[in-house]
């Protein structure tokens, strides 16, 4: 396309041409109008003269009688002796012309094709012009460049007054008798016009320069901006590449670190569990082991928190929805939290409305994590009073969908108004107790998870009175039939039922601790166990020994678990061997990778004892022998969603006594009545007691009541 400069030049040239033409035209019009007005003036004076049939003037040296005027009364003498001569229009015109020539430099020439006075004979230009008038022209104006004069000529036509003298020449009214030509010096006008044109040229030149200058500066600043933008884009691009690289490095680091941390933790947790189950362990030792176990679990939670947060930041958290028993999940979480609450003598009340669904399709792990984080905080930041978990649901427009509304209310220290905005940020801890009790990640993770599930997490709090955390999430409801039921664990496994094959189990694992842990779990139960330190060895043992089941560590030297799995599954009889991968990785992608390699299942480290046995039960249909059930301790009871003896002990003694009696006598009606009375003040307690009665667990009830009355 045309550049702005070219357009500007074209525009200015056009403007200059137009302006110069206008100057010329105006100049011509001006001079023309000067000519016209002179002509009109003369014609009027002539008419005035003709109407008087000539006027008499005194004879002077300059005004002698007109020899061409044939009039008997041409010269007269007044009675006083003054000599006068008649001046006819033509003679008058000549005389005025002489004055004008001296005064204004404009020459007149009265002329005719048939002049009476020889001096009035037309020149060549006048002859042509006069001929033109006879042909009908009205006036002629032109510039004679050579002589630098404008010439103007207009015709004189015969008026009535003229005929007095000129009738004898044969003229009639209206005939063109001749004309007056005016010669106006042009220099002055041409110079003025030229000066104007010069001025226009200068103005246009300035405009051109300015235009080019502005265009140049605009272009330069635009170029600069573009250059800046390019630079910025380049910097952004580089930053993005760097960030992506950093992210990849971080992910790599994370998966490595998780492996490094989880593997030893697996040993800590596993061996402490193993030792706890050892009948030779004394009560004291058991307590110490319990502490090791709890600390390990806590450490695992912290590691998981940090990893979860990093995964969130790397955008690697995805929803993993499934059908599950929400009631179970809630009970689990509440049980876990009740133990913690009771340690601080806090009440944990579950206030669940009847429309809260039991079976739903959602991400149970994330929902569980959110509830644990919120309830955990409530317990952490409350010293007196209690915590209420309030659960409701409202129907959504779409059929089969409801909106879960969960509230965690506490009577704790509360949060200052100015801190409310920060608590959801990662690593933010407020209110002075920071650092002692957590990582500052719990709420950040909870909020991210809730948002991922399509909801919003909000908080209301009053310092000194407590806080309410609330979230709502849309979920699908499902039926019990949709849920895959796992047999509940029936206590500690001590052996295998008779009449089963001798199961050969291969443990392919490079880490000594992990290998030993699995071996110590499996061998005492009655499995035959062999070990392999890498993928290559695993293949060799498989070929020679044909194990029924392989625990395959994912990461091993020489050949990793995936490659070994692929090869074994491709070998003869490989398909029949169950291979379950063990990985310390935190990323879900690796689960797919593991399954694609041909593994039948997948277990994350650190694993729990029960997960190991459950997986083998699931894939081998192996049947276990369980230890005899022990009478429940209070702590265990709490884990089963039972009211603790402490809470029962807080009841009015009279109520407790009647409850004890009703339980002893297995009096269903009486028990229900008493529970209703308890429900007036403590709904949660009444509910769990009612559950026990409904299940006819009078033995458990009796144990509890007895303990609380101690
Ligand atoms: P932390 O690991 O420190 O508990 P969170 O992200 O879970 O980290 O919480 C961030 C901060 O919000 C906490 O340090 C605490 O000051 C405040 N907070 C969270 N929940 C409560 C609560 N229920 N009552 C009072 N303060 C709370």
Structural tokens at position 603:
């277990």
Mutate to test the pocket of ligand 1, among 308, 379, 411, 423 (most ligand atoms within 8 A of CB): 423
Alpha-carbon Rg of the chain, whole angstroms? 60
Separation between Cα atoms, residue 156 and residue 169, nearest integer Å:
15
452 pLDDT tier (thresholds 50, 70, 90) = very high
- Is 694 buried (19+), middle (13-18) or exposed (0-12) by CB count in 10 A? exposed
Separation between Cα atoms, residue 181 and residue 107, nearest integer Å:
8
Of 229-238, 286-295, 411-420, 514-523, where does mean pLDDT reach its minimum?
286-295
Q: Does ligand 1 come within 6 angstroms of the Cβ of 376?
A: no
Tell me the mean pLDDT in the region 509-526: 88
Ligand 1 midpoint to CA 374 (Å)? 9
Atom of ligand 1 nearest to the CA of 373: 7
pLDDT value for 102? 84
Q: Has residue 666 got a pLDDT over 60?
A: yes
Strands (DSSP E) contained in 252-396 are 322-325, 347-352, 359-362, 386-395
Query: What is the number of alpha carbons within 13 Å of residue 596 lying toward its C-beta?
Result: 6
The most confident of 115-119, 244-248, 532-536, 603-607, by mean pLDDT: 532-536
Tell me the mean pLDDT in the region 256-273: 79
Of 290-294, 440-444, 448-452, where does mean pLDDT reach its minimum?
290-294
Q: Does ligand 1 come within 6 angstroms of the Cβ of 445?
A: no
Q: Does ligand 1 come within 6 angstroms of the Cβ of 423?
A: yes
Mutate to test the pocket of ligand 1, among 374, 380, 388, 414 (most ligand atoms within 8 A of CB): 380
Q: Does ligand 1 come within 6 angstroms of the Cβ of 381?
A: yes
Separation between Cα atoms, residue 440 and residue 218, nearest integer Å:
53
pLDDT value for 633? 44
Residue nearest atom 3 in ligand 1 by C-alpha distance? 440
Separation between Cα atoms, residue 675 and residue 681, nearest integer Å:
10
DSSP secondary structure string, 330-365?
HHHHHHHHHHHHHHTT-EEEEEE-TTS-SEEEE-HH
Q: Does ligand 1 come within 6 angstroms of the Cβ of 301?
A: no
Atom of ligand 1 nearest to the CA of 430: 16
638 pLDDT tier (thresholds 50, 70, 90) = very low
Structural tokens at position 366:
């994330």
Q: When comparing pLDDT for 644 and 384, which is higher? A: 384
Residue nearest atom 16 in ligand 1 by C-alpha distance? 430
Separation between Cα atoms, residue 87 and residue 63, nearest integer Å:
9
Q: When comparing pLDDT for 288 and 590, which is higher? A: 288
- Is 38 buried (19+), middle (13-18) or exposed (0-12) by CB count in 10 A? buried
Q: For a pLDDT cut of 90, what percent of the chain falls above it?
A: 41
Of 14-28, 55-69, 339-353, 587-601, where does mean pLDDT reach its minimum?
587-601
Whether 630 and 492 have beta carbons less than 8 Å apart is answered as no
Q: What is the mean pLDDT of the chain?
A: 86
Q: pLDDT tens across 24-69, in order?
A: 999 999 999 999 998 999 889 989 998 898 999 999 998 999 988 8
Ligand 1 midpoint to CA 479 (Å)? 36
Mutate to test the pocket of ligand 1, among 429, 435, 449, 469 (most ligand atoms within 8 A of CB): 429
Q: Does ligand 1 come within 6 angstroms of the Cβ of 346?
A: no
Positive or negative, the Cα torsion across 310, 312, 314, 319?
positive
486 pLDDT tier (thresholds 50, 70, 90) = very low
Residue nearest atom 12 in ligand 1 by C-alpha distance? 423
Ligand 1 midpoint to CA 256 (Å)? 30
Tell me the mean pLDDT in the region 676-699: 78
The most confident of 97-111, 477-491, 532-546, 588-602, by mean pLDDT: 532-546
Separation between Cα atoms, residue 106 and residue 636, nearest integer Å:
134
pLDDT value for 382? 93
Ligand 1 midpoint to CA 640 (Å)? 28
Q: Does ligand 1 come within 6 angstroms of the Cβ of 444?
A: yes
- Is 485 buried (19+), middle (13-18) or exposed (0-12) by CB count in 10 A? exposed
Count Cβ atoms below 10 Å from residue 320 Cβ, excluding itself: 12
Separation between Cα atoms, residue 61 and residue 518, nearest integer Å:
155
SS3 406: strand
pLDDT value for 588? 62
Q: Does ligand 1 come within 6 angstroms of the Cβ of 438?
A: yes
Ligand 1 midpoint to CA 441 (Å)? 9
Q: Does ligand 1 come within 6 angstroms of the Cβ of 410?
A: yes
Q: Has residue 434 got a pLDDT over 60?
A: no
Ligand 1 midpoint to CA 434 (Å)? 8
148 pLDDT tier (thresholds 50, 70, 90) = confident
Whether 452 and 319 have beta carbons less than 8 Å apart is answered as yes
Ligand 1 midpoint to CA 475 (Å)? 27
Whether 429 and 482 have beta carbons less than 8 Å apart is answered as no
Ligand 1 midpoint to CA 546 (Å)? 54
Separation between Cα atoms, residue 636 and residue 653, nearest integer Å:
25
Tell me the mean pLDDT in the region 175-196: 89
pLDDT value for 410? 95
Tell me the mean pLDDT in the region 108-135: 88
pLDDT value for 683? 78
Mutate to test the pocket of ligand 1, among 344, 415, 450 (most ligand atoms within 8 A of CB): 415
Atom of ligand 1 nearest to the CA of 414: 25
Ligand 1 midpoint to CA 366 (Å)? 19
Structural tokens at position 242:
């760097």
Residue 554 carries which DSSP code? S
Residue 431 carries which DSSP code? T
Peptide bond into 673 cis (omega under 30): no
Separation between Cα atoms, residue 579 and residue 505, nearest integer Å:
10
Listed residue (363, 377, 257) closest to 307, CA to CA = 257
441 pLDDT tier (thresholds 50, 70, 90) = confident
pLDDT value for 506? 96
Separation between Cα atoms, residue 211 and residue 610, nearest integer Å:
86
Q: Does ligand 1 come within 6 angstroms of the Cβ of 379?
A: no
Q: Does ligand 1 come within 6 angstroms of the Cβ of 413?
A: yes
Q: Has residue 433 got a pLDDT over 60?
A: no
Ligand 1 midpoint to CA 403 (Å)? 26
Of 83-92, 193-202, 393-402, 600-609, where does mean pLDDT reach its minimum?
600-609
Atom of ligand 1 nearest to the CA of 440: 8
Strands 601-604 and 578-583: parallel
Residue with tokens 């339980």: 663
With residue 151 as reference, give the H or E element that holds it: strand 149-157
648 pLDDT tier (thresholds 50, 70, 90) = confident
SS3 531: strand
Whether 391 and 330 have beta carbons less than 8 Å apart is answered as yes
Separation between Cα atoms, residue 616 and residue 501, nearest integer Å:
14
pLDDT value for 641? 60
Ligand 1 midpoint to CA 356 (Å)? 27
446 pLDDT tier (thresholds 50, 70, 90) = very high
Strands 456-462 and 140-144: unpaired
Q: Does ligand 1 come within 6 angstroms of the Cβ of 186?
A: no
Q: Has residue 11 got a pLDDT over 80?
A: yes
Atom of ligand 1 nearest to the CA of 410: 23
Tell me the mean pLDDT in the region 582-601: 81
């Amino acid at each position: 396309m045309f550049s702005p400069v070219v357009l500007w030049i074209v525009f200015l040239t056009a403007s200059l041409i137009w302006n110069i033409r206008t100057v010329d035209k105006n100049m011509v019009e001006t001079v023309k109008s000067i000519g016209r007005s002179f002509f009109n003036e003369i014609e009027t004076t002539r008419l005035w003269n003709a109407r008087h049939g000539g006027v008499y003037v005194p004879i002077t040296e300059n005004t002698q009688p007109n020899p061409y005027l044939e009039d008997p009364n041409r010269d007269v003498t007044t009675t006083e002796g003054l000599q006068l001569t008649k001046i006819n229009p033509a003679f008058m015109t000549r005389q005025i012309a002489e004055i004008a020539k001296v005064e204004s430099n404009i020459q007149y020439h009265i002329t005719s094709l048939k002049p009476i006075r020889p001096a009035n004979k037309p020149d060549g230009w006048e002859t042509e012009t006069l001929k033109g008038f006879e042909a009908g022209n009205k006036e002629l104006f032109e510039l004679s460049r050579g002589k630098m004069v404008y010439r103007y000529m207009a015709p004189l036509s015969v008026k009535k007054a003229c005929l007095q003298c000129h009738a004898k020449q044969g003229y009639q009214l209206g005939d063109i008798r001749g004309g007056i030509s005016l010669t106006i010096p042009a220099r002055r006008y041409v110079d003025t016009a030229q000066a104007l044109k010069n001025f226009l040229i200068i103005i246009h030149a300035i405009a051109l320069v300015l235009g080019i200058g502005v265009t140049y500066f605009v272009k330069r600043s635009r170029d600069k901006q573009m250059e800046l933008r390019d630079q910025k884009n380049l910097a952004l691009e580089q930053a993005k590449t760097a960030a992506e690289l950093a992210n990849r490095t971080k992910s790599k680091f994370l998966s490595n670190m998780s492996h490094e941390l989880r593997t030893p933790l697996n040993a800590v947790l596993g061996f402490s569990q193993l030792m706890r189950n050892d009948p030779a362990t004394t009560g004291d030792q058991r307590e110490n082991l319990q502490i090791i176990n709890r600390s390990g679990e806590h450490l695992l939670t912290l590691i998981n928190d940090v990893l979860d947060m990093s995964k969130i930041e790397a955008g690697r958290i995805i929803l993993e929805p499934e059908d599950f028993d929400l009631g179970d999940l809630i009970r689990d979480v509440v049980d876990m939290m009740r133990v913690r609450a009771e340690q601080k003598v806090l009440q944990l009340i579950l206030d669940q409305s009847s429309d809260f669904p039991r079976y739903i399709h959602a991400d149970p792990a994330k929902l569980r994590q959110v509830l644990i984080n919120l309830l955990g905080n409530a317990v952490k930041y409350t010293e007196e009073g209690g915590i209420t978990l309030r659960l409701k649901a409202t129907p959504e427009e779409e059929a089969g969908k409801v909106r879960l509304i969960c509230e965690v209310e506490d009577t704790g220290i509360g949060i200052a108004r100015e801190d409310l905005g920060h608590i959801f940020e990662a690593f933010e801890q407020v209110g002075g107790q920071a650092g002692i009790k957590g990582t500052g990640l719990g709420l950040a993770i909870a909020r991210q998870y809730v948002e991922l599930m399509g909801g919003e997490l909000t908080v209301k709090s009053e310092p000194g009175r407590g806080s309410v955390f609330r979230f709502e999430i849309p979920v699908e409801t499902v039926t019990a039939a949709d849920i895959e039921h796992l047999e509940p664990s029936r206590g500690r496994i001590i052996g295998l039922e008779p009449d089963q094959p001798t199961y050969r189990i291969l443990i392919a694992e490079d880490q000594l601790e992990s290998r030993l842990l699995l071996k110590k779990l499996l061998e005492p139960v009655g499995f035959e166990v062999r070990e392999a330190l890498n993928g290559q060895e695993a293949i060799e043992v498989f070929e020679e020994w044909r194990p029924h089941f392989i625990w395959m560590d994912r990461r091993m030297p020489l050949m990793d678990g995936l490659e070994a799995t692929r090869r074994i599954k491709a070998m003869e009889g490989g398909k029949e061997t169950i291979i379950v991968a063990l990985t310390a990785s935190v990323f879900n992608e690796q689960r797919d990778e593991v399954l694609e390699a041909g593994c039948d299942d997948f277990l994350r480290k650190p694993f729990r004892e029960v997960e190991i046995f459950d997986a083998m039960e699931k894939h081998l249909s192996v049947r276990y022998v369980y230890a005899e059930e022990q009478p429940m301790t209070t702590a265990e009871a709490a884990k089963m969603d039972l009211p603790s003896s402490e809470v029962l002990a807080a009841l009015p003694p009279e109520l407790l006594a009647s409850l004890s009696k009703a339980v002893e006598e297995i009096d269903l009606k009486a028990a229900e009545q008493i529970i209703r009375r308890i429900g007036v003040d403590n709904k949660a307690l009444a509910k769990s007691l009612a559950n026990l009665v409904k299940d006819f667990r009078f033995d458990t009830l009796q144990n509890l009541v007895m303990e609380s009355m101690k």
